[in-house]
Structure 1
């Protein structure tokens, strides 16, 4: 195979980066790996740092990479539990890999003998020592808490497992002028419609690509989002301008199964292709910021807040479980900040 691989940290999470020249056959091969992702910024594919993936790419195995026999059996039991609870395949993979990492660290102990002190030691001697991100540490905590809830005999006190202090990272927001430049850049009607719909309804990338023609209710001027994050349905308002754009799009493309289909009829447009659409739009608009599709969702929420929309409605429109998640947009809204006069102006 004409590819090279190495272990690294991708956004603070241990992954295996795979490099190769653009090749249709190799892209198809890499997509067969669970949780294979393309990084547009780093220009590499990356996979979970697992024993199987290390063996496949002939990378050296870490000395503590394998849990003991009981740990391996426990991980399989955990997977079956998650499957029965109807967790998504991505969540099952993420939590299973997280649990494997922890049980590998504790591979000299029986599961029933693992204590809260072991969790602290794991955080200090593995997570912090390797400079993994707090979000990765939080994934581990989620997996540990969930796993030990189903273990019959345990020394772990679940409620005493602490989470890392969250980093206060503000969402990235574009101005209305920048959004306008982005959505007006594509000459392709499908590309323009996709970017416009993401911003106008505050959609996640996956929510847009899962849309089907009948999810657009032109009579009630709403979009129905089925089985979104957290397996929740919700509705969002559909603006008259978007409805007109969608009608023009529908006349030209006549989608059948999905609202936005790939090259083959009946298959959804790929998220990687959509990311490429945004990248081309940014280049054409002359915007140098490293914007992602999620920036459009953040911008939608912030612009709603700045126009006076109640935070409770924004929470509902975005599908947030907690109001605390939505409140972060109050920290990036410039409506109140711009009214503050700097003392520098009086000098």
Structure 2
């Protein structure tokens, strides 16, 4: 499928000069696919045929940019769904180009996860080594080879081999792309159905204890907005993306249910009603206009995590902490205070209980109690 931006001269009334009506061109898209009739989409956008003034030239520039963005969006939709291609042509799309466009689409939805999609694309490009694989050519051999590549390749950050969990994430992105292609009938079968995934490595989830959180509260932080956001996450279990998008109109109070947050998870797109404590609300400070972001201006980057680590260090806590550790801290504190795992799972917005069970390995009260049962020997 090729999509061309074209224009056709037309006379439009309403833009007249002393010398008569100026000539303008109407912009449209031409959709061309092999062995199919060309079809057109009129954009209802117009440019001056012979712009004279700076205003007319600026109008043409902005209109052409808008038209080009529409063309790019249509191309992205076609590449990632296969719509508009004849059945025999869908599988002949370049797999790398399909994945690149899909990665861009995912990046628009989620900043963090979008980065993983982009890194996966870079690894795929290296693995293909200039070869132009089509969607329909992706088979067991290709996928097994990519798994082997991920197990041996150097990290794109240049710090040794790829971490097993990163390799798992990258391979899962490829599987997801092929599953989506199969659902959209771009390929006749999903080759991943026959391929085993990559086994991840169990990782230690760093968290802060209740005493350590008290130390943080008592320690000044150079970035007050970061301080509020981290403590709010630790008291609610919300992810960074949901904390960053928090507004007061999502927070409500009633006699029956006290404080609750009604929001849509950025990661899963699931709608949630989250009960929260009064102290979590106190952390936010003065109530702002409803649709104003509470943490407006706070950005997730290396510098922010450095500020967070400096705060942790100043509190005398000897741990490597990132923002996501606040969510881990919430989960482990709930389990440590005998909240049942099903309830914790719901509070975290997990779809599967198995995801929450990871936290039981972080702090298992039964193991701690068992260790204390041994009588004093010394």
Partner of 2:117: 95
Instruction: Report whether the alignment pairs 1:105 with 2:134.
Output: no
Matches of 2:229 and 2:247, distance apart in 1: 13
Partner of 1:323: 353
Relative to structure 1, the CA distance from residue 254 to residue 183 in structure 2 (aligned partners, 3 Å threshold; closer, same or farther) is: farther
After superposition, residues 257-276 of structure 1 pair within 5 angstroms as: 257-262=292-297, 269-272=298-301, 275-276=305-306
SS at match of 1:336: helix
Partner of 1:75: 99
Match of 2:317 among 287, 301, 311: 287
Matches of 2:166 and 2:191, distance apart in 1: 21
> Deviation at 1:178?
0.4
> Deviation at 1:205?
1.8
Q: TM-score if structure 2 supplies the norm length?
A: 0.61
Matches of 2:149 and 2:276, distance apart in 1: 51
Partner of 2:369: 339
SS at match of 1:235: strand
Matches of 2:371 and 2:123, distance apart in 1: 52
Question: Which 5+ residue runs of structure 2 have no aligned equivalent?
Answer: 1-92, 155-160
Superposed CA deviations along residues 277-300 of structure 1, whole A, max 9, x for unmatched, are 523421321112111222221111
Matches of 2:190 and 2:225, distance apart in 1: 53
| Contact 2:138–2:191 under 8 Å retained in 1 | no
After superposition, residues 119-198 of structure 1 pair within 5 angstroms as: 119-130=143-154, 131-149=161-179, 150=181, 152-153=186-187, 157-186=191-220, 190=225, 192-198=227-233
| Structure of greater Rg | 2
Structure possessing the higher relative contact order (Cα contacts under 8 Å, 6 or more residues apart): 1
| Contact 2:110–2:267 under 8 Å retained in 1 | no
Matches of 1:276 and 1:315, distance apart in 2: 30
SS at match of 1:174: coil
Matches of 2:317 and 2:294, distance apart in 1: 28
> Deviation at 1:159?
1.0
| Contact 1:75–1:100 under 8 Å retained in 2 | no
> Deviation at 1:327?
0.5
Matches of 2:293 and 2:189, distance apart in 1: 49
> Deviation at 1:89?
5.6
Relative to structure 1, the CA distance from residue 345 to residue 117 in structure 2 (aligned partners, 3 Å threshold; closer, same or farther) is: farther
| Contact 1:170–1:328 under 8 Å retained in 2 | no
Question: Number of paired residues?
Answer: 269
Question: Which 5+ residue runs of structure 1 have no aligned equivalent?
Answer: 1-68, 263-268
> Deviation at 1:312?
0.8
Question: Root-mean-square deviation (CA), in Å?
Answer: 3.4
Relative to structure 1, the CA distance from residue 234 to residue 337 in structure 2 (aligned partners, 3 Å threshold; closer, same or farther) is: same
